[in-house]
Each structure stands twice: as C-alpha cells, then as structure tokens.
Structure 1
Amino acid sequence: MSAKKTILLIVILRFVMGGFWFAHSHDKWEWPQTAELQRRLQRYSENGTGIEQAYVEHFALPNWKALQYLVIFGELAVGLSFLAGIFTRAAAVGGAFMALNFLFAQGSFISSDIIGNPYGPVVITATIVAAYGGGESHWSLSSWLERKKGLRALEGGA
C-alpha cells in the first residue's frame, strides 16, 4: 500500500475512533444521576467467573462512583483527542486501555467473544492508529500548530 493510502486510512480510522469514543461518552453522561455503572458492574459480577469476577468485585464495584466519572471523562477526552488530531498516540493507548478494561469486566477478554464485542475491534484499531502515529501530520490540530506557531509535535516526538 502506498504511503498516501496508508495515511488516508489512518486518518479515517482516527475519525472513526473519535466518533466511537465521543458517542460512547455521550451515552454515559446521565450515569452519575442513575447509578447505571453500579447496576452493570453487579450484573457482570453475577455472571462472571474467575479473575474477571474478582476484578469487578474487589476493584470496580467498591470504586464505582469514582469510576463512572473517570469513564465519562476518559471516553470524552479520547474521542475529542482523536477528532482534533492532538495527542493521538496517547489517546490510542488510553482508548485501548479502557476497552480492555470493559472487555475484562464483561468477561469477554478471556473468551472467544472478544471480536463479537464492540470493544474488541476498538482495541485492534487503537493499536493500529497508535503504531502509525495516529495520522497527526494530516488534518489535525497538531499539524496546524506546527505550521502556524512553529511548534513541534506536542507529544514530545521529533
């Protein structure tokens, strides 16, 4: 695949990932008023077995109030970062980390259901975007700042 096609593919993946994370954060904005995360975690705990059940029972459930805000903020930050094209490698790593945690809590991480779960392909896509630098050099806030203000990439890269 030519370099231009690769860049275009990565930029498209960046926008798709941004839309995915932004939409998922938007769906959760009412969580603090409804305790939805606590209900989901209890359901995962009842259906889980082994290590994922211990993770939910001993980490996620006791900290559900803090985690609901962390999930909302994390998904929003990752989505906006991808859409704006700034800190995309960090966003890809953060998005993959969140998706892996969601898969782990649901018990999909250990089973063969990882591809059937909506977060499975997200982990794969985030890894690809991170590996290729997130397409920051094209159609992004990072490239605009570099051209306009003479600033180097904000991620500390060359």
Structure 2
Amino acid sequence: MSKVSEQATPGFLVWRLSTKWRVAVDRAVAPLGLTHAQYAMVASLYGMHRTGERPSQRRLADHTGLEALYVSKLARSLESAGLLERTRDPRDPRAVQLALTELGRERTRQAIDVVQGLHRQLLAPLGGLDSERTQEFRRTLATLLDVSLEPDAPRETEEQS
C-alpha cells in the first residue's frame, strides 16, 4: 500500500479505484467502439436478455445506477451504431424497450471478454476471481452500495439558537 493510500479516507480510495477502473475499461473497450458507460449498458442488457428480460430504459437505468436521461442518450447512440434496438413496449406505449442487435450481442461478448481480463488483473492481489478475499470484497462492496447516502441536514450551532 502506498503512503498516500495509508493516509487516505475510504471515500477518496473508492473514488480513486472507481476512476482507475473507468479509465481502464474506457481504454480497453475503445477499439470495439464503446465507452465505459456504453459497456455498462450493453453488458447489463446482455445479462438481462440471457435471463429472458427485455428491459425498458427505466429498468436498465435502475439496474445500472445511471440516470434515466443518460440511459436514453446512450441508447440513441448505441442504436445509431447498430448495436441496439429501441421499441415501444406493447404493454405501456410510454415505455421504450431495449434489445441488442446481432452485431450488438457479438460486440458485447467481445467487450465482456476484454473486461474479464481487467477483472483478473484487478483481483490478482486478492487471490484471483474465485478467492475468499475476492468474495469478501464483493460482499463488502454490495453492502456499501446498499447504503443510502443523503446529505446531512444543516445542524444548528449554539450561535444559531
């Protein structure tokens, strides 16, 4: 662990790791014509389709943690690239369903392979993808993601009372 990391707050370390990961994925999937955010969308869509789900843009936004407006923008760009189809939901004409095209499925499979290589590199210091340390790390991250983060209400000071 570097000297900086020993003194850093957990929030700073989370930010640094997430930035490092985003940059690495951006670079790795760029040759496939994707950005990290687009990869997050198509990989999520790929997984959802494998379980039989054809999600709406809203459902995909909830799944990825991205803003619905951003998912809509990404979906339009992926549709223009021929990787995604957007269709009206027959049960709700206001909703737009998303599906990968054949080209989108192929490109996503390639991107998943590339990103899996990054996962192996990232998790090697913890003993690899299937190690107990990695499983504990995954559980810790999931726990932290379940925490609701809201700004504290302004506190009254003695001078304000």
**Shared fold by TM > 0.5?**
no
Higher relative contact order (CA 8 A, sep 6+): 1
Bigger Rg over Cα: 2
What is the TM-score when the length of structure 2 is the normalising length?
Answer: 0.27
What is the TM-score when the length of structure 1 is the normalising length?
Answer: 0.27
- Structure with greater strand share of residues: 2
- Structure with greater helix share of residues: 1
